[in-house]
Structures are given as C-alpha cells and as structure tokens.
Structure 1
C-alpha cells in the first residue's frame, strides 16, 4: 500500500466520517463506484461530494439518467442545501427521434443508437463545462443500453480513459437493480464504496457502508454505520482502540462510601472498567452513581448513558437518596443521556461516547445497561467485539468505565444475557438472599485485576438515605445461592431502620 498520498490533495467528499475512512477522501483524477440499493443514500453522498467541491472553488457536473433536475434540487433542499451555479445538473434523456415510431431504424438496434447518443451527450456537456468533479447517475441505465457485459465494459473503459485525460474525479452511482452479480465496473474503477440497508424486526432501519476497494491506498476496513438525517449523511467510523493512546497516572479513585471502598481495596483504578452484575432491583445503577458523584466532587466530569430507565423517574428516585443528577447536569459536570436502542446503531452509540470522553473530557463513564445495548446489536458475538473495542478505547483515554448487566432470575442460579466478565477489570456481584424471614441483599467482589480486594461477602441496604454496607457475613454459608445457612452465634445482619 502507498500511504504517502497527502490527505490535503484528496477530493474530500464532504460527508462527516467518510473522509476519515477513505484516508482523506477520493484520489483526484480517478473513477470511483458508489453502489447500493435504492434508498441507501447514494444521491445524498453524491450531492455532498459536488457541494464540497464547490466550496473549494471547483466546478461540478451531475449527469442524471434516472432523476430529474427538479427531484435532485428538492432532495438537496430537504437537507438545507442550495445547489450553486458552479454545479450543473444535466438531465440525460433519449432524443425525441428515438422515441418517435416513424423515425425508428430497422437495420440497427435502437439500443445501439441510444448508447452512442448517450455517450456523445456526456462528452459534449463535459467539454462545455470542464468540471473538476462529475457524478454519473446511474450505471444501471447504461448497463441496460449496453445489453452485454462486453459492450458495457468497453463503454465504462471509454468513459474512464476520456475523463482520465482531463484529471476529473468521477463518482459513478449504481443502484444494483440490473445485475447485482456483474462486477465489471469493480475491476475498472479506482475504488468501490458499498452502501447497505438492513431492516430489523423492530425499530428503525440500519445503514452501513464498506470500502471494497481502493487502489494503492490504505483505508479503514470493515463495516461502518451511517445515518441519513436532515443535513446529509453522517458516517461513524468503526472504532479501533489501538489507534487511541494517551498518558495518564493510574491513581485509585474512591466511591466516597467507606465500606464499599474497603471491599474494593481502596477503590477502582483510573482508566479501568468495572462490571456490576445482579438481578433486577439490586441497585446496580445506584452503585454507579456513588462513583459519579465522587468524581464530580473531585471536580471531574462524568457521562451516563441510560438504556433502560426514563430520565424523569431516575431523577426523582435518586434525588430522594441525595443524588441531584439534574443539578449536576445543569452545572455542566454531568452529561446524562437516554439511549433508544431501537433507533440507535452501535456505531453511532460508540461515537457519542467518544464525543463525551474526547470533547467534554468526561473521566467517568456509565453504561446502564448492557441489556439495552445488546438490543441494538445484531448478535451476541458482535456485542462482545463492540464492547471490547469501546472498553479498550475508554481505558486508553484514562476514563473509568462502569457497566451494568441485569441477570435473569432472582435467587439461586443466575444467567447473564451476555458474558463479558473476562473483559472487565473489576467485577462486582450483587445478590438477593433470604434470612430471618426477609429478602436481603449481598455484595461481593469476584474479580479485580489491579490490587487486592476483600474476599468477603457483605450485606448492603438501600433506603431513603441511599446505600449502606454492613460488616462481612462470616457467620453465613450459601449467601450467593440465595438461601444461606446460619453457622454463627450472633446475627451480623444490618438492622432494619425505624419507620419515619
């Protein structure tokens, strides 16, 4: 691969994120193929490409065989764009004589005449405008006129050599409606960008793209999520944690709750990840808030991404326990966001997290919970890979990350929807257990990569004053199974607070 091509010399597409994937943009003076089924965003990207050229003082030409000038301009206006005078839209339509039955030829196929006339019109409008950027929409029409793979290939080669002499950068659009197995253009063009759209069983459609080919240039491989919204296309480059490194001191950060910090051996290390496991209602979110509040008291910023709970309810119930999340948010110290897994792709979510850590310098990040995050994923294996890259990125940026997972069941054998305990640096286990006629809660640390921690199991209580932890339960056996056996001489459990 030749990576010496200066990104400043590239023809930038104007699409947020796409130029990053393309290592700066499209190599000038070459043909590129943008292919995808109807509705995947080809026209929007093509318009962005021409408008970006106009901003740089370059002339642009949009040759359309499928859409009208009016349709293109209406589509541009839907994104708040006005097509400037430096970008010409040329509607390429068959000449009237070819549509007149009295003028039709009997010795030559009409497709031969139409293909030749189409090519002649393309060359004529190019000579008249002399654009630096060209969009040809779409190749499906030319493929149908060519009728054979050989003639189609020769036609594309003719276009390539003609435009190469002028140094113009050409973007060919293909809607894949004619012959999806024909890879003729793939071998001719300099690069290929494939757009895809998938419709999940529930929720909004998901779009992604992949660079299939880019001659002589390294690019970011794999699939990249993207969205089409008012203002154009935004691409979310696939996160590669190895590209992000920073230096920071790995100090131990405390929660501010003495018994919890003792259990954790002083706290958790900065730039590490902590997974909190437990069934519904055990207070997983509340434990994360202990660390968020402690970080903000230290003058740091924090970010919380909530998948499962409505923010209004979260604000009201935690305010009674002494966590003024609204006040933290209004002061600018806390970014809290409710994430709709049905509407958000994994790539876009990772992008939002990166924004908070990069631009806003959030040092504590909470993802609550992975159950909701999983709903945004195509399958469990992909979730594990996404979480791996995201955690590695956050760790290398010095952010302390907390993730929660709601396990299936209440007592006894617990099952997790996804097992990422091997990815987290610290794992906190929460459990219900029955003792003395009451349902109680227990906490233990089952893993910590850095430093020591207590091997004990402690009872904890959640009331209107928040969290409180008791002494280690030395006199019980089987607490984690849910129905322990008392083997001591005294009752070391937390007493029930008096009613107020």
Structure 2
C-alpha cells in the first residue's frame, strides 16, 4: 500500500472539513466530546470509512460498545463496512473479573488500567493503522481514579501514537461526575458536540471547534443533523467570504403602476421586505416578482413556512399563476418548510444550495414569522438574516421577505423588526372607504434610488394584482380609517360593482 502523503485527513462528514479548513492534521491526536446521543460514534465511523475509501488501514478500539452494536449503528445509516475497518472490542481479562484471582496488595483498577493500556498498544502494533478511534475516554478516566493519573495516561497514549503516522480521534461521552478538562491541553484539537431540546419540536444539535493548534478554523457554533447516511454539518454562514461580480440592472415587476411606485423597479442584488397584516397580499406580491423573473428566463427559489403547498398552488392558479407547472418544468424550486424540524443553519444551507446549484436569481422567504419559530431568540434571528441577506445580495440574487404584523387596522406591531436590514420596504394596509374594505400599498424605504411617496390602492382578482392611481383624496389610509379631503377620488372597481368614485 502506498503511504498517504497529504497533510490533512478528511473526516468524511459533509461540512465539517470546511469548518476545519480541510480536515484533521495527520499524525496528531484529536478529541471529539459530547454527551450521549450527540453523534460521536457516527462521526467516528464516517472518519474511518473515509480512510478506508482511500485504502488506509483503520482501527476502532471500543471500550464501551460491542462490535455488533457498532455494526448495527452503521447499518442504521445503510452502511456495511465488512472488514475494511478493524474493530477491536476491548473487554477486561477474565482474571480481573474473578474475585479469587484478584491480588490484595493492588487495587483492581490499577491492574485494569495497566492491562487496558497494554491491550490498546498491542492492537495498534498489530494493525499499524493510519486512522484510530478510541471510544471512549470516560472508561479510562474511571479506571485512573484521579486527575493526575488520567492526564499521565492520556500523555502516554499521545506519545505512543506520535511515533507513528496515525491520526487519532479520542471520544469522550462526558458522563463522569467530575469532568476533567486537562485533556484539552494535551490533544492537538477539540471538537465539542451539543444536543439541545427546545420546548417544542425535534432536538437541535450543534458543534464548536474549541481548539485546533497551528490551524485557522471557522469559529462559533454550527448546526448539524443526524440522518440516514450519517452526520451533515452546516457551517455558519459568513457573507464576507462570498462575493461575485454582476451588473446592477433595474428589474421590473411586470405591473407598470407598481414599477412606478418603486421608482422604476428594484435593483439586482437587493433585498425587499413586504410588511403588513395577514391577508393583504404579501405572498402574491413576492410571486409577482417570481413570475417576472421566469419571464426573463431566470430561475427562482421559494421557501414557504406558513402555507401548505397544495393550497398555495390552488390559490395562485385561480389568479392566473400556475406555480405547479413552473415547478414541474424546472423554472422554480418551491419548498415547504417545517420550522419545528429545521435549524437555522440547515435553512441557510438550503438557500445557498439553491443559489449555487439551481442558479436561482430570485429568492422568496415567506415568512419571517415562520422562520423566527426556528430561532431560539430574536437577536440570533437578526444576525442570521443579516448574513443570509448579505450573502444573497453579493451573489446578485434578489431576495423577497414577508412579515405578518399583529392586528388588521390602526396601530400594528411586528414580531421582529428587520426593516433596517432590507434595501426596500413595501407596506401593505387595509383601509375602509365607501363601506368596503380595501387594500393599499406604499413604498416607505428604498436605499438604491428614488421612489413614489404616494399610496396606491390595489385589488386582487382572477387577473392577479391591479394597482390604481395614487390616493390623493384621502388622509389616514395607513391608519386604516381614512378621511376624505378631496373633491373626487377614483377608486378601483370592486368585484360586485362598477367604478367606486367619490
């Protein structure tokens, strides 16, 4: 077998090598720690399977699980590794379990610790592996019965492995009452896994690289999931790392009156927030830009948190927009998301994948209210949205976000204020006039240019969106109960009556 010459050992875990700047430095000892259920064994098996795929000799030394349990764990991910990985199941010698054979001058733990270390060294010398996993350190810690002996034992293991070409991964399930962190100073790098249990929904898992000697890495917490096939990590998004060149052209919505309200349209590579009470038509406005993008020959990605796709398809089809057909012919990607089952990091990765692989130039997130449900706190939502919007802008993609406000008319509140993040903010409102409930739209912010400071009425019917002339004859439209101050104001005709003019 040819010796492996590259300096990094890939972990085989999607996303983790990106966080580690290429993998684990060869010929060093690393610690993978986390409470039971965080995914240590799965990551360790993926690490060895990656080595086996490269024709490297791999050894799994188990002090806590049987070989059959390890193979069952691999089978749960659809993996049969056969004899490509050497599994050494370390069990105490029978003489140490026999009370008649135990010596009275030495504690049995002293004998067990020495015998355990000896068996580890013998297995290593027999296989001469390139990759080693020792599962788990908690067994050695209990046998050591003290911080000093435990540290010396880890140092002995480190010095023994340092004389070889092996890359070693030590697992620690952190089940000891007195957790000894001195091993952190001994190993070359430390990866910490966590499992969080929200009040509702699936458990959330995240990891953090605590230490990596002589190597830069992506700091902070990174979400990850365990699914059939193994662990997938979603590196924390840093928009500053992603920038592409594109021409900042003005894009039309397809509705002349709406484009006039926007000062000609929106600029490529910008974000737009549509805010208003439920039912005002926020989703329909975003889909108008999706339809315009498809007509330009571009692709779009739509992420729905709040509405069932079948209902959305049926509703928009009656308005002349067949989203199902656009999805089937590959013009758009549309996906319904469950906030209770989705971590923020996974969502960001899905959006990035659609921009990178699907080449989506228009991205819709409907709504921020649903996205917020997947976030532990509002501050984190703002940070996630800032990085995601900056990333999309730098890719030349147009992003459309919706936020449903509490209330219908009058003083309304938003669950989270993201207006300062968006480049353009469009406000939708209900108002009452001539005994009917009507809708109004206005642009209250646009960073990239001028826009109308007027308020226009709009109507939703079988033809889609229709905008009227500026409402110059009313005051107080945004409050919902306007006062008529003009001589005559043309209003859009309603479905059951002709023109409503005053």
Map 1:209-224 → 2, pairs under 5 A: 209-224=207-222
- 2:199 corresponds in structure 1 to 201
Match of 2:155 in 1: 157
**Aligned length, in residue pairs:** 495
2:281 alignment partner in structure 1: 283
- Equivalent position of 1:38 in the other structure: 36
Q: Does 1:9 align with 2:19?
A: no
Q: 2:397 aligns with which of 383, 396, 399?
A: 399
Structure 2: distance between partners of 1:384 and 1:252: 27
Q: Secondary structure at the match of 1:166?
A: coil
CA pair 350-195 structure 1, distance change in 2 beyond 3 A = same
Report the secondary structure of 1:131's partner residue: coil
2:427 — aligned with what? 429
Matched, 1:418 2:419: no
Alignment check: 8 A CA contact 2:250 2:266 kept: yes
Q: Which range is displaced more, 207-216 or 181-190?
A: 181-190
State the 1:462 CA deviation: 1.0
> Aligned with 1:304: secondary structure?
strand
Residues 1:473 and 2:471 aligned together: yes
Q: Give CA-to-partner distance per residue, 1:278-333, whole Å, 9 cap, x none.
A: 00000000000110000000100001000000000000010011101011101101
Partners of 1:142 and 1:301 in 2: CA distance? 56
Q: Match for residue 313 of structure 2?
A: 315
Q: Aligned equivalents of 2:336 and 2:497: distance in 1?
A: 34
Correspondence for 2:255: 257
- Give, in angstroms, the shift of residue 167 of structure 1: 2.0
* 2:59 match: secondary structure: strand
Classify the secondary structure of the residue corresponding to 1:422: coil
Task: Give yes or no for contact 1:8–1:24 (8 Å, CA) kept in 2.
Answer: no
Q: After superposition, what is the alpha-carbon deviation per residue over 1:157-215, rounded to whole angstroms, capped at 9, x for unaligned?
A: 00000000012110000000014641111000000000000011111100000000000
2:301 counterpart SS class: strand
Q: Which runs of 5+ in 2 are unaligned?
A: none
User: Whole-Å Cα distance in 1 between the matches of residues 51 and 345 of structure 2?
Assistant: 28
- Residues 428, 441 of structure 2: 8 Å contact kept: yes
Paired with 1:198 and 1:295, the residues of 2 have a C-alpha distance of 40
2:100 paired with 1:102: yes
Alignment match, 1:189: 187
SS in 1 for 2:225: strand
Structure-2-length-normalised TM-score = 0.97
* Matched-pair contact (CA < 8 Å) for 1:458–1:469: yes
Residue 172 (structure 1) aligned to one of 165, 170, 173: 170
Paired residues for 1:203-352 under 5 Å: 203-352=201-350
Counterpart CA distance in 1 for 2:180 and 2:497 is 76
- Distance in 1 separating the partners of 2:388 and 2:198: 23
CA shift for structure 1 position 57: 1.0
CA-CA distance at 1:8 after TM superposition:
4.8
CA distance in 2, matches of 1:407, 1:80: 46
What is aligned with 1:445?
A: 443
Q: Partner of 1:54 in structure 2?
A: 52
* C-alpha separation in 1, matches of 2:174 and 2:180: 9
Closer, same or farther: CA 265–156 of 1 in aligned 2, 3 Å: same
- How far does residue 81 in structure 1 lie from its aligned partner after superposition? 1.1
Query: Residue 312 of structure 1: SS of its match in structure 2?
Result: helix
Q: 3-state SS of the aligned residue for 1:193? A: strand
Gaps of 5+ in 1: 1-6
State the distance in 2 between where 1:291 and 1:59 align. Answer: 55
**Aligned match for 1:74, one of 65, 72, 85:** 72
**Residues 46-90 of structure 1: CA distance to partner in whole angstroms, max 9, x if unpaired?**
000111011111101100010000000011111111224231111
After superposition, the CA RMSD in angstroms is: 1.3
Shift of 1:151: 0.2
SS of residue paired to 2:349: helix
Q: For residue 354 of structure 1, what is the aligned residue in structure 2?
A: 352
Offset, 1:492? 2.2
Q: Identify if the C-alpha distance between structure 1 residues 389 and 145 changes in structure 2 by more than 3 Å, giving closer, same or farther.
A: same
**TM-superposed deviation, 1:498:** 4.1
| Residues 235-260 of structure 1, C-alpha deviations (whole Å, 9 max, x = no match) | 00000000000000010100001110
Q: Deviations over 1:127-158 (max 9, x none)?
A: 11101110000000000000000000000000
Q: How far apart in 2 are the matches of 1:74 and 1:181?
A: 29
Does the aligned pair in 2 maintain the 1:31–1:190 contact within 8 Å?
yes
CA contact (8 A) 1:261 1:267 kept: yes
Counterpart CA distance in 2 for 1:483 and 1:219 is: 56
For 1:3, the equivalent position in structure 2 comes to none
Aligned residue number for residue 134 of structure 1: 132
Shift of 1:436: 1.5
TM-score by length of 1: 0.98
